[in-house]
C-alpha cells in the first residue's frame, strides 16, 4: 500500500493522529496545515514534512502528490475543508462531529459519491471491543426485539474547556452535545442499528449557545420496531474522562454496560457478566480507525463509519436543539429530507 496523506489540523488530537498515521506501513505524511505556528513547527520537526498556515495553500502545493486527507479541526470548519478536499478528488477522514448542519452533512455525502472518494467519520466506538460486543449481542437477537434504552454520559467538560474553542459556538457548533455527546449519539444509533425518529429535550446552558446539561427523550426506528430511549448528558461532572453507561431492554432480555463490564440477563437463563477484553485505549482505537480508512481506500475493507452515519448523528443533534428551543417534539427524518431536497 502507498497512501500519501496530508493532515489539516495538527494540534493536540491532530498531532496524535499524525503520529499514528506515521506508524502504519505504506502511509506517507506529505504535508500539513494549521493556523498555529507552534503546531506547524512541531509537525515539521517531528515528521520532516512541510506545514502551511492554510489548507488551500497546502492543496495548491501538493494536491497532485496526495491521495487522502485527515481533518482534525474545530467542528464548524469541517464542512468547508472536507468539501474542498473532496473536490480535489481526495479521500477524507474527518473527526467527529462530521459537521454541525444537516444540509452540509448531506452535501458532503453526495459530493463524495459524485467524486468516487472514500468519506469516513472518526467515531471510535465502532472499534471498541465493548460496543462491538453490545452490537453483536443485540443483532444476534439474544435479548429479543429492543423496545427501551437508557443511556448517560458525564464528565468535567465545562471547566476543562471554558476558555477553549470548544466553548465558542462559532467554532464548536454548540456545547457538550456536539462534543463528547456526539459519541454517545453515535454509539446509541450504531449499537441498536436504528435511525432517529423524533425527540423532545430540556437543555441547560452555561452561557449562550454552550449547552452543558441535557435530558433527552427520543424514539428510534430499529429492525424490530419502535425503540424509546432516554438520554442524560452532563458536562458539569466530576471526572475529566467520560463516565458513561447503557441499558438495553428487549422482549427477551436485558443488556447493561458500564465501566468494563457487560451484563446480559436472558429469559430462562442465568445472568452473566463479561469483562471487556482487548485493547480499548485511545491509541489503539485511533489506530484501528485509521487502518480501516486506509484499507477502505485500498479496497480491502468496507468503511466502518461512512458519511451516512454523520448525517444521522447531525440530524439527531440538530433536532435536540430545536426540540429544546421550541419545547415541543421534533421529527428527525424530515430534517434530512428537507436538506436532501435543497441539494436536488
Q: Tell me the domain boundaries of the chain.
A: 3-124+285-306, 125-278+313-331
Q: Partners of 3 in the beta sheet?
A: 27
pLDDT for position 238: 93
Q: Which residue has the cell 493536540?
A: 12
Give the pairing of strands 146-154 and 27-33. unpaired
State the pLDDT at residue 270: 87
Q: Provide the CATH topology of domain 125-278+313-331.
A: Dihydrodipicolinate Reductase; domain 2 (3.30.360)
Q: Treating both helix axes as pointing N-terminal to C-terminal, what angle do 102-114 and 78-87 enclose, rounded to 10 degrees?
A: 10
Q: Which CATH superfamily is domain 3-124+285-306 in?
A: NAD(P)-binding Rossmann-like Domain (3.40.50.720)
Q: What does the pLDDT profile of the chain (344 residues) look like in tens digits?
A: 789 999 999 999 999 999 999 999 899 999 999 999 999 999 999 999 999 999 999 999 998 999 999 999 999 999 999 999 999 999 999 999 999 999 999 999 999 999 999 999 999 999 999 999 999 999 999 999 999 999 999 999 999 999 999 999 999 999 999 999 999 999 999 999 999 999 999 999 999 999 999 999 999 999 889 999 999 999 999 999 999 999 999 999 999 999 889 999 998 888 999 888 777 788 899 999 999 999 999 999 999 999 999 999 999 999 999 999 999 999 999 999 999 986 54
How far apart are alpha carbons 144 and 181 in whole angstroms? 27
Q: Which residues contact 235 (CB under 8 A, 6 or more apart)?
A: 154, 155, 156, 157, 158, 175, 176, 179, 180, 206, 211, 212, 213
Judge contact between 97 and 75, C-beta under 8 A: yes
Helical axes 307-326 vs 180-192, angle rounded to 10°:
110
Q: Which residues contact 326 (CB under 8 A, 6 or more apart)?
A: none
Q: Is the pTM of this model over 0.85?
A: yes
* Neighbouring residues of 204: CB distance < 8 A, sequence distance ≥ 6: 211, 212, 213, 214
Distance CA 221, CA 147 (A): 10
Identical topology for domains 3-124+285-306 and 125-278+313-331: no
Amino acid at each position: 500500500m502507498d497512501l500519501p496523506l496530508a493532515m489539516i489540523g495538527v494540534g493536540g488530537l491532530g498531532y496524535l493522529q499524525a503520529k499514528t498515521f506515521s506508524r502504519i506501513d505504506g502511509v506517507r505524511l506529505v504535508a500539513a496545515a494549521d493556523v498555529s505556528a507552534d503546531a506547524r513547527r512541531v509537525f515539521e520537526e517531528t515528521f520532516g514534512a512541510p506545514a502551511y498556515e492554510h489548507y488551500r495553500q497546502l492543496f495548491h502545493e501538493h494536491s497532485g502528490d496526495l491521495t487522502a486527507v485527515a481533518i482534525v479541526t474545530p467542528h464548524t470548519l469541517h464542512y468547508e475543508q472536507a468539501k474542498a478536499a473532496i473536490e480535489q478528488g481526495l479521500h477524507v477522514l474527518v473527526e467527529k462531529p462530521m459537521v454541525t448542519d444537516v444540509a452540509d452533512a448531506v452535501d458532503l455525502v453526495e459530493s463524495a459519491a459524485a467524486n468516487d472518494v472514500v468519506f469516513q467519520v472518526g467515531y471510535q466506538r465502532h472499534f471498541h471491543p465493548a460496543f462491538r460486543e453490545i452490537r453483536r449481542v443485540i443483532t444476534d437477537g439474544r435479548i429479543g426485539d429492543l423496545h427501551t434504552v437508557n443511556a448517560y454520559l458525564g464528565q468535567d467538560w465545562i471547566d476543562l474547556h471554558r476558555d477553549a474553542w470548544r466553548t465558542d459556538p462559532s467554532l464548536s457548533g454548540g456545547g457538550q452535545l456536539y462534543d463528547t455527546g456526539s459519541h454517545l449519539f453515535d454509539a446509541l444509533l450504531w449499537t441498536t442499528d436504528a435511525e432517529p425518529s423524533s425527540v423532545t429535550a430540556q437543555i441547560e446552558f452555561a452561557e449562550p449557545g454552550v449547552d452543558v446539561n441535557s435530558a433527552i427523550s427520543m424514539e428510534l426506528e430499529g429492525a424490530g420496531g419502535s425503540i424509546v430511549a432516554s438520554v442524560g448528558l452532563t458536562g458539569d461532572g466530576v471526572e475529566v474522562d467520560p463516565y458513561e453507561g447503557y441499558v438495553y431492554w428487549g422482549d427477551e432480555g436485558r443488556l447493561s454496560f458500564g465501566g468494563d463490564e457487560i451484563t446480559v440477563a436472558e429469559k430462562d437463563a442465568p445472568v452473566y457478566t463479561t469483562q471487556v477484553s482487548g485493547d480499548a485505549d485511545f491509541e489503539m482505537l485511533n489506530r484501528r480507525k485509521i487502518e480501516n480508512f486506509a484499507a477502505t481506500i485500498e479496497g480491502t475493507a468496507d468503511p466502518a463509519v461512512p458519511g451516512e452515519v454523520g448525517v444521522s448523528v447531525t440530524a439527531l443533534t440538530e433536532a435536540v436543539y430545536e426540540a429544546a428551543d421550541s419545547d415541543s417534539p421534533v421529527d428527525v427524518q424530515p430534517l434530512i429530507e428537507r436538506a436532501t431536497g435543497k441539494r436536488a
